[in-house]
Amino acid sequence: MQTVILAGGTGTRLKEMTEFIPKALIQIGGRPMIYHILRHYAHHGFTNFVIALGYKQEAFKEYFSHFDEINNDVVIHTGQRGMTCRDETLDNWKIILSDTGEKTMKGGRLKRIEKYIKGDTFFLVYGDAVSDINLRELLAFHNAHGKLVTITAVHIPSRFGEIQKDGSAVTSFTEKPDNAHFINAGFYVCNRKIFDYLTADENCELEVGVLDMIANKGEMQVFEHTGFWKAVDTLKDMGELQTIWETGGAPWKTWK
């Protein structure tokens, strides 16, 4: 079972950081976002990854070329060549790094890595969010309904007070009401037939057009996740995740 990670965007709303490094390499708790995502999937037994790169793709290749040394304790053998990494939990991962174009939209990126997908079903995830989604439950849900795509939805409470009015007269005011709404969490399971809806053109978008078409054909189901989920879109988001990490309450953390 392979996992495709879309990590090619420019992260314009985080330009203070992404001017220097790609968004998925921004660190939370001393580890890049993409490391957190990899460990999440590996925790559930999924260790075969295809990462669709674009913006500053060379930074990912540099990071992963030293992945074992960066993410583990090492033993240096003086007088000898080489070193030994001291964490067997990272053994046997397979990570394909594919440059899918600096300006390519998500749909085009996905189509361009089609050649690496071997099975009929694969995970698809965005490289800018962490969650405690039970991935085996997500996969079981997908397999049970037999549709083309499963999309994970999370509840996001309203950030603002709600006004009820009659003409120009306010009839009631509710501070941050509980009428939460669903948003796309960016954790998918897809059947490979999704590639039939995509083109390798750099302007092929995923959410607008492709997923609309699949949904209209009745080929999409939603998996509701009520646990933790948070995306990093702004410096504020980054700071909030860092605070959660530092207080020891990171529910997505699956390693010691």
Q: Whole-model pTM? A: 0.88
Give the β-pairing of 74-76 and 83-85.
Answer: antiparallel
215 HSE (CA, 13 A, CB side): 10
Task: Supply 166's token pair.
Answer: 């009659």
- Residue in 253, 234, 242 with CA at minimum distance from that of residue 23: 234
H or E element in which residue 159 lies: none
pLDDT tens string 22-77: 899 999 999 999 999 999 999 999 999 999 999 999 999 999 998 888 887 888 87
Domains of the chain plus CATH, in order, are 2-246 (3.90.550.10)
- What pLDDT was estimated at residue 165? 61
Confidence class for position 206, pLDDT limits 50, 70, 90: very high
CB contact at 8 A, 154 and 182: yes
Average pLDDT of the chain to the nearest whole number:
88
**123 near 4, Cβ under 8 Å?**
yes
Residues 6+ apart with CB under 8 A from 121: 1, 139, 142, 143, 189, 190, 191, 192
Contact call for residues 141 and 223 (beta carbons, < 8 A): yes
